[in-house]
């Protein structure tokens, strides 16, 4: 499992694992978001090669409770999508920090990662929820 303290977070309840050596960020939803969504039954992700801008909708997750948008946390180009999560959406709610990751983005501006929330700020945003 990923060390949650090394990740960056968004106010839209996404986590970002940025690899500075490759310039690629792996993105998924947090436990908090997964809990609020409930059992995920469908995931629509962008195609590889799609340019995304920070804050723009780049996908959708449907659950037994609701539908939620996936927002690009950073600007860049989608380098990979988790086809396993598309085929078995339960991975998104069951293992959001592991097998349930959503996309990998080659980031245009690595410094933009510093503007995201750290773990403490994210936990404070959610009222103490992990």
| CA 14/CA 97 separation, integer angstroms | 10
Q: What is the mean pLDDT of residues 40-63?
A: 96
Neighbour order of strands in the sheet with 14-19:
8-9, 14-19, 24-29, 103-107, 76-81, 51-52
- 2 confidence band (pLDDT: 50, 70, 90): low
Across the strands, what pairs with 69?
60
Q: Over 60: is that where the pLDDT of 1 sits?
A: no
Tokens of residue 43, six digits: 């995931």
pLDDT at 127: 87
Pick from 2-16, 30-44, 69-83 the range whose average pLDDT is largest: 69-83
pTM value? 0.94
- The string over 8-36, giving b where at least 16 C-beta atoms fall within 10 Å of a residue's C-beta and e elsewhere, is bbbebbbbbbbeeeeebbbbbbbbbbbeb
- 116 confidence band (pLDDT: 50, 70, 90): very high
| CA 130/CA 126 separation, integer angstroms | 8
Tokens of residue 33, six digits: 């978001």
Q: Over 70: is that where the pLDDT of 50 sits?
A: yes
pLDDT at 60: 95
- 28 confidence band (pLDDT: 50, 70, 90): very high
Radius of gyration of the chain from Cα atoms? 13
Q: Over 70: is that where the pLDDT of 129 sits?
A: no
């Amino acid at each position: 499992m990923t060390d949650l303290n090394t990740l960056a977070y968004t106010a839209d309840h996404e986590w970002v694992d940025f690899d500075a050596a490759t310039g690629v960020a792996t993105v998924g939803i947090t436990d908090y978001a997964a809990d609020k969504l409930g059992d995920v039954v469908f995931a629509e992700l962008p195609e590889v090669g799609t340019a995304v801008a920070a804050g723009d909708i780049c996908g959708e997750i449907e659950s037994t409770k609701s539908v939620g948008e996936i927002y690009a946390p950073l600007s860049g180009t989608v380098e990979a999508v988790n086809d396993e999560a598309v085929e078995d959406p339960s991975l998104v709610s069951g293992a959001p920090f592991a097998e349930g990751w959503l996309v990998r983005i080659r980031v245009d501006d690595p410094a933009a990662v510093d503007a995201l929330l750290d773990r403490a700020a994210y936990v404070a945003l959610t009222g103490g929820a992990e």
